[in-house]
Amino acid sequence: MVTEAQLEEFERTGLLRLAGAIPAADTAAMCDRIWDHVLAEHGMQRTEPATWLVEQRMAGLRTVARRDEFMRIGSPAVRAALSDVLGEWTEPRHWGGLLVTFPLREETVWDVPSIVWHNDFVPFEAGARLRAVQLFVLLNDIRPRGGATLVLTGSHHLVSRYADPADDGPHPKRLRRQLGAAHPWLRELWGGEGGDRVQRYMVDGFEVDGVPQRVVELAGRAGDVFLMHCDTFHTAAPNCLDQPRMMATNMIRLEQGPRRTV
């Protein structure tokens, strides 16, 4: 069950962490299926990092995610949290698309990326500001700087202010142009280089139009699940450690019933 304090956190930041929402045995079974696939299709052996490929997207993972093991993402804890946040929601046919990132081969200094910041497009609906939440599911332990998705907390409030609700938006490129033109901190987040970006964006943060903004890394333990407001900006990050990042994601949409105005 999601507490009132957690709901307030979600409404403020657009992000809510559910620690241990999926049993470890279930996430281990999902990782086993991924390793079976990359061995069969790409010759990548779990215990031999020299065989690991660096490609950001591995062929065939969509088929793997349709295996029965991945239905366990819809655990009782995840389902209860979705009901607390969304009210009535639409049951997905499949519970997750896979996000798998293997370590970079060359030593790289990790930094906050300046490219591909986006909100995943969910068309506006009359009278419903919270239209969907996006799940990010940690299938293995992911340490900081190990390829976890980065989220710009609080940015969903800016989308509701800058996007035209009469449009079919919100459109990520259009919003980036509008927000970047109005706010140098944002313009330099998704278009700048140099300086201590970790300190500036992940530690210090900044208020934009009176709304606190800060970049948060979705690191944690296997079985942790993050619920993110569908309008929140986020991006992929490099994996500078020695283990693959294995996550699953899905957009869970509002169906009917009580609607929160986030």
Which 3-state string (H, E, C) describes 64-112?
HCCCHHHHHHCCHHHHHHHHHHHCCECCCCCCCEEEEECCCCCCCCCCC
The number of helices, as runs of H, and strands, as runs of E, in the chain is: 8, 9
First and final CA of the chain: distance in angstroms? 19
Q: What is the mean pLDDT of residues 242-251?
A: 96
pLDDT at 208 (0 to 100)? 94
Q: Determine the average pLDDT of the residues in 150-178.
A: 87
User: In which band, very low, low, confident or very high, does the pLDDT at 162 lie, cut at 50, 70 and 90?
Assistant: confident
Q: Which domains does the chain have, with CATH numbers?
A: 4-102+114-253 (2.60.120.620)
The better pLDDT of the pair 161, 19 is held by: 19
Average pLDDT, integer, range 155-174? 84
Q: What is the pLDDT of residues 48-98, one digit of tens each?
A: 999 998 866 678 899 999 999 999 999 999 999 999 999 999 999 999 899
pLDDT (tens digit per residue) in 170-218: 888 888 989 999 999 999 999 888 889 999 999 999 999 999 999 999 9
Q: Average of pLDDT values for 234-239? A: 95
pTM of this structure:
0.92
The residues facing 253 across adjacent strands are 132
